């Protein structure tokens, strides 16, 4: 029976396998020859288009010298690679999967009722949140550096189309120092001037909208099915099921219609920025 590919788990597994192959200094052809496979098969495994079976994954990992808990984890990922919805514990694994999704997406709609979307955060704003959440100085600096690097998807030659829907509460009641927020608001206005970035504010008096049920990130791809990424305190969930994703696509449309226009949103951000800058 043919396996179902292009799930979040299959893509994340593929990224891990590609990383391990590259660490070993092998091309896809060289690894395929050692496994008795076609190099096209290796490529399909690494892109998540067609995930390896648990047995194939075990053989590949053995060839690359992977052992221990990491070996067990990846074999288990291969065994359940068809699972369309994936709960992913652990900050590092979440981030690895999300970066892979961001790099291959053509459209991202980030709905954030309480915070500035991650890709639009300044380093000081991001660091303030990470430290307040209990992170160490070293860990916060490392994670901020990674987050700043992730913004490359917005500025590369063929950038992703990024739509940020931000709750007014996130602008008026920041989880950081006043001067940090003033700088963040200025940067938000700068991002909004880019052709591929749209910023919309969801007014506080709007009433109920799907945004009140929590933040979500919708990612769409040129040749793969869309994914919804949900972040929690110490884990994340990637939804791939067609019906689930369709519900979030409808929610994204609903939230965008309820939000202010990009022009009015930038004007409100400027007004709030003036208030922040003049407040002693």
CA distance 137 to 140: 5
The string over 15-30, giving b where at least 16 C-beta atoms fall within 10 Å of a residue's C-beta and e elsewhere, is: bbbbebbeeeebebee
Could you report the per-residue pLDDT of 186-195, keeping only the tens digit for each? Answer: 999 999 999 9
| Sheet order of strands, 227-231 included | 86-89, 235-239, 227-231, 216-220, 107-112, 161-167, 197-202
Pairing label, strands 216-220, 235-239: unpaired
Close Cβ partners of 6 (under 8 Å, ≥ 6 residues apart) = 48, 49, 224, 225, 240
Close Cβ partners of 190 (under 8 Å, ≥ 6 residues apart) = none
pLDDT for 100 equals 78
Residue 234 β-bridge partners: none
The Cβ of residue 208 has, within 10 Å, a number of other Cβ atoms equal to 8
Q: Residue 175 to residues 111, 172, 198, 204, 213: CA-CA distances in angstroms? A: 18, 10, 23, 17, 20
Q: Are the C-beta atoms of 196 and 162 separated by less than 8 Å?
A: yes
For residue 131, give both structure tokens.
């430290």
Whether the per-residue pLDDT at 17 is higher than 80: the answer is yes
Whether the per-residue pLDDT at 272 is higher than 90: the answer is yes
Whether the per-residue pLDDT at 257 is higher than 60: the answer is yes
pLDDT for 25 equals 95
pLDDT for 1 equals 43
pLDDT for 3 equals 57
pLDDT top residue among 189 and 15: 189
Least trusted range by pLDDT, from 8-12, 143-147, 148-152, 166-170: 8-12
Pairing label, strands 86-89, 216-220: unpaired
Best-predicted range by mean pLDDT (3-12, 136-145, 254-263): 254-263
Q: Are the C-beta atoms of 234 and 134 separated by less than 8 Å?
A: no
pLDDT for 16 equals 84
Could you report the per-residue pLDDT of 86-128, keeping only the tens digit for each? Answer: 655 555 666 777 887 898 889 999 999 999 999 999 999 999 9
Could you report the per-residue pLDDT of 195-205, keeping only the tens digit for each? Answer: 999 999 999 98
Could you report the per-residue pLDDT of 53-75, keeping only the tens digit for each? Answer: 999 999 999 999 999 988 998 89
pLDDT for 79 equals 87
Report residue 37's pLDDT band, with 50, 70 and 90 as the boundaries: very high
Could you report the per-residue pLDDT of 196-236, keeping only the tens digit for each? Answer: 999 999 999 888 899 999 999 999 988 778 999 998 877 78
Q: What is the mean pLDDT of the chain?
A: 89
pLDDT for 235 equals 75
pLDDT for 84 equals 67
């Amino acid at each position: 029976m043919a396996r179902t590919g292009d799930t979040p788990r299959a893509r994340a597994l593929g990224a891990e396998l590609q990383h391990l192959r590259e660490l070993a200094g092998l091309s896809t052809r060289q690894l395929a020859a050692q496994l008795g496979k076609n190099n096209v098969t290796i490529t399909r495994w690494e892109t998540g288009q067609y995930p390896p079976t648990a047995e194939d994954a075990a053989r590949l990992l053995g060839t690359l010298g992977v052992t221990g808990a990491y070996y067990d984890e990846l074999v288990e990922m291969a065994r359940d690679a068809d699972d369309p919805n994936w709960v992913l514990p652990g900050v590092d694994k979440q981030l690895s999967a999300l970066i892979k999704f961001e790099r291959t997406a053509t459209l991202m709609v980030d709905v954030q009722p309480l915070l500035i979307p991650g890709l639009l955060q300044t380093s000081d704003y991001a660091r303030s949140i990470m430290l307040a959440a209990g992170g160490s100085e070293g860990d916060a600096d490392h994670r901020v550096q990674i987050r700043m690097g992730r913004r490359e998807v917005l500025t590369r030659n063929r950038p992703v189309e990024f739509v940020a829907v931000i709750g007014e509460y996130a602008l008026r009641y920041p989880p950081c120092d006043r001067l940090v927020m003033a700088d963040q608001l200025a940067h938000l206005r700068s991002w909004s001037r880019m052709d591929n970035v749209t910023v919309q504010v969801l007014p506080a008096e709007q009433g109920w909208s799907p945004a009140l049920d929590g933040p979500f990130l919708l990612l769409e791809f040129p040749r793969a099915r869309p994914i919804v990424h949900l972040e929690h305190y110490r884990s994340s969930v990637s939804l791939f099921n067609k019906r689930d994703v369709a519900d979030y696509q409808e929610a994204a449309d609903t939230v965008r219609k309820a939000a202010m226009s990009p022009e009015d949103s930038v004007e409100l951000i400027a007004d709030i920025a003036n208030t922040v800058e003049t407040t002693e």
